[in-house]
Amino acid sequence: MPNVLIGSGPIRNQPGPFRDRLIAAGLTPVDMPGHLPLSGADYRTILPEIDAVLAGGEPLSAESIAVAPRLRAIARTGVGYDSIDLAAARARKIAVTITPGTNQESVAEQAFGLILGVMRRIARNDRILRAGGWDRELVPPLRGKTLGLVGLGRIGQAMVPRGVAFQMKIVAYEPIPNPEFDAKWGIRRVTMRELLAESDIVSLHLPLTTQTHGLFHREVFSLMKSGAFFINTSRGGLVIEDDLYEALTSGHLRGAGLDVFDPEPPSPANPLLHLPNVVSSPHVGGVDAKAMEDMATLAAQCVIDLFQGRWPHECVVNPEVAEGWSW
């Protein structure tokens, strides 16, 4: 029976529909101990005996792929795949899949949690109160503010009804048109420069690519509205963290909510973690209980489809390997 490594930490050594489906299809789930992200050394230890991986966000490097002669599929439990060496997978004709449509609501909820946390000073007030203080500084409202969405894919779109519910105005930077969606929700498409100048809150919803790496740097932060808030639930690599720190400590930006860092996990010495106007979380935006089950189930189904000779077109991110592909 082919072996499927359960690489994603939250589902490793855990029951669930994903595991039941794999077993029913004649595949053997393989777990390593613990729930922390697998290291390159972990992967290189186990991959020689593995035919497919249900991968989390941990790096799957060319070096790891090179020691996996049986590997036919890497199924990401999520929608980002920047952690996978796609060129190495392509060279070996390994199918790489993602799980679209499974976690956008979870990410949007986390983004709004961070917005509320930093704008309403929830974490900061909690710390002050526990220390014996009683700080009732006035905070800005969400209602009437402009929410700028950088990216309007599934996650960006999931942000929209939540922003509307908070009586916010919404602008978006997104090159791919969607006039029906924009008309339904009253979204105004703008240039990036216009979005930065108008938005009280800038929220990132972009994939990490060679084009977007370091997209938010000193000059871009300087174009943001004075006193604005910055939210990142996408990827840490989109941001030059030293430049964000400078914008936050100079007073140009009022605060930030960060679910992602570069690298991850961040060093305890990362200065962003020590700023009172930053609310942070450990890259948990896309992994609430329901989203994790949905992602794991779809990732497992992608592996099953490939094993049984079906090609999961909507999930494969490297379709160029399809010709001549075999298990």
Helices (H), the chain: 17-24, 40-46, 62-66, 86-91, 104-119, 122-130, 154-165, 179-185, 192-198, 218-223, 241-249, 289-307
Where are the alpha helices (H) located in 278-321, listed in sequence order?
A: 289-307
- SS3 state of residue 96: strand
Query: Closest Cα partner for 55 from 313, 316, 300, 294?
Result: 300
C-alpha dihedral (187, 229, 104, 310), degrees to nearest 10: 100
Nearest to 5 by CA among 77, 61, 82, 62: 77
Tell me the C-alpha distance between 161 and 6, whole Å.
35
Total Cβ atoms within 10 A of residue 54: 28
Contacts by 169-175 with C-beta closer than 8 Å and gap 24+?
Answer: 169/144, 169/145, 170/146, 171/146, 171/147, 171/195, 171/198, 171/199, 172/148, 173/148, 173/149, 174/149
Distance of alpha carbon 54 from alpha carbon 292, whole angstroms: 12
Specify whether the backbone of 304 is left (phi greater than 0), alpha (psi in -120 to 50) or beta. alpha
- Residues designated catalytic: 235, 264, 283
Distance, in Å, from the CA atom of 72 to the CA atom of 306, rounded to the nearest integer, reads 9
Sign of the C-alpha dihedral computed for residues 268, 35, 115 and 204 taken in this order: positive
Q: Angle 97-99-104 (CA atoms, 0-180°, nearest 5)?
A: 145
